[in-house]
């Protein structure tokens, strides 16, 4: 019933009533908010604030006392761009100048809303998608590669979590994984094409 939209220059988020298409509230977040993601239960909204190098968590539960207020700020230690909550609601995945940051989204975890790992990329990362079982992340990079990242490495750290790097030969942006986890779809911005990769 509601849409949350980041406003990069005014450092806030607009809440839109989808029944009327009217902005009903504006919520101040960090500096230069860009990416935004809703938790699977619809009760939380994570906002990636590019310049202030953190995430803002907005309470989206209308039955909560904190409804439509920022209830947590999560430092990332570097500039952020896009954000995604895994389908199992266990992690928040954040792209930016560093690679991929992994934040715990489990309220029962002692490290809840803290960065628990970084999968280094060697370049800026742009978009992130996740397989339906929350096992792997697919991340696009500024230099046109797709990284496949194991979100549950056996070692427990993410130093070797990048299990594949797929060159696309062009600039890419949006990344989506099909619901059956068989295909990855990527927009090629220079070629006006959709690239399709089969997951084997």
Are 186 and 175 in contact by the 8 Å Cβ rule? The answer is: yes
CA atoms within 13 A on the CB side of 27: 25
Read off the DSSP letter of residue 171.
-
* pTM exceeds 0.85: yes
Are 91 and 74 in contact by the 8 Å Cβ rule? The answer is: no
Q: What distance in Å separates the CA atoms of residue 131 and residue 103, rounded to the nearest whole number?
A: 17
Six-digit token string for 187: 């927009």
Six-digit token string for 1: 């019933």
Residues 6+ apart with CB under 8 A from 87: 40, 130, 132, 133, 134
- pLDDT per residue, tens digit, the chain (200 aa), is 999 999 999 999 999 999 999 999 999 999 999 999 999 999 999 999 999 999 999 999 999 999 999 999 999 999 999 999 999 999 999 999 989 999 999 999 999 999 999 999 989 999 999 999 999 999 999 999 999 999 999 887 898 999 999 999 999 989 999 999 999 999 998 889 999 999 88
CB atoms within 10 A of CB 133: 11
């Amino acid at each position: 019933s509601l849409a949350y939209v980041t406003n990069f220059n005014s450092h806030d988020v607009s809440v839109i009533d989808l029944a009327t298409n009217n902005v009903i509230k504006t919520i101040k977040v960090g500096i230069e908010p860009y990416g935004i993601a809703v938790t699977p239960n619809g009760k939380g909204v994570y906002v990636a604030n590019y310049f202030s190098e953190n995430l803002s968590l907005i309470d989206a539960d209308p039955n909560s006392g904190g409804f439509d207020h920022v209830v947590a700020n999560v430092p990332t230690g570097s500039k952020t761009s896009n954000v995604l909550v895994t389908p199992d609601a266990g992690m928040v995945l954040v792209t930016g100048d560093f690679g991929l940051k992994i934040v715990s989204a489990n309220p029962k975890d002692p490290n809840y809303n803290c960065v628990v790992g970084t999968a280094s990329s060697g370049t800026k990362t742009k978009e992130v998608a996740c397989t339906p079982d929350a096992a792997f992340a697919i991340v696009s990079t500024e230099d046109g590669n797709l990284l496949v990242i194991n979100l549950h490495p056996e070692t427990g750290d993410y130093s070797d979590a990048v299990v594949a790097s797929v060159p696309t030969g062009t600039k890419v942006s949006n990344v989506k994984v099909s619901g059956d986890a068989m295909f990855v779809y990527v927009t090629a911005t220079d070629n006006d094409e959709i690239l399709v990769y089969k997951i084997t």
